[in-house]
Structure 1
């Protein structure tokens, strides 16, 4: 049930970010509380908290350096996704953290190679897909 709820949440985030080019607080902020609480109930609270803090710190630094390249919604999403992936361990967290920007970069190259104009791609979907795959591997 929890995995299905996470997948629905991630799908909503992806769809919203693709359509609106933003991640709303009502989809990002509740997870910043719910995911660590559920992880703590499963005995993974410290790992989830560490994952949330670490990923958010990385995204916040990038946002502060280049606010046009990394939106505040991505920073807020990093709280929940960092907690989610962190709760499965450092290896799962690292896989998601490294894969997300790589996935956005590959998508950008595909768009340009297909003759599309250079435009800003939303990063949230890559964060969600990378986290879902990493967490799925962590569960397996």
Structure 2
């Protein structure tokens, strides 16, 4: 009888833990979805490809402090997020690698510290590296 009570208590604890964890995950997913939407909306009319903005959002989201729910274009990378030059370089390299463009050179990354202070600066810096490389045109052969 005691064993049944112990097993039942353990099962109830496991089910309660699963429910609480599931709600926490759903809540975090919901907050991320809202934050993603607000991030994209803040760049409306900028002409930046949504795919690039999503890559920047995902790369930043993993690195910003937990208390930051919404990332805005005017947010200072160092002051608001505590980013160092190396953090910004990591984000640039990650986003550029995931795009269909080309990776920045070391001299490009050296300019990063002078040109990039805010999230909007970061996006502008990334645009040329995240543009697809022009594909050579194959001329149709006349038969």
Q: TM-score, normalised by structure 2?
A: 0.30
Could you say which structure has the greater relative contact order, defined with CA pairs below 8 angstroms and 6 or more residues apart? Answer: 1
Higher helix share: 1
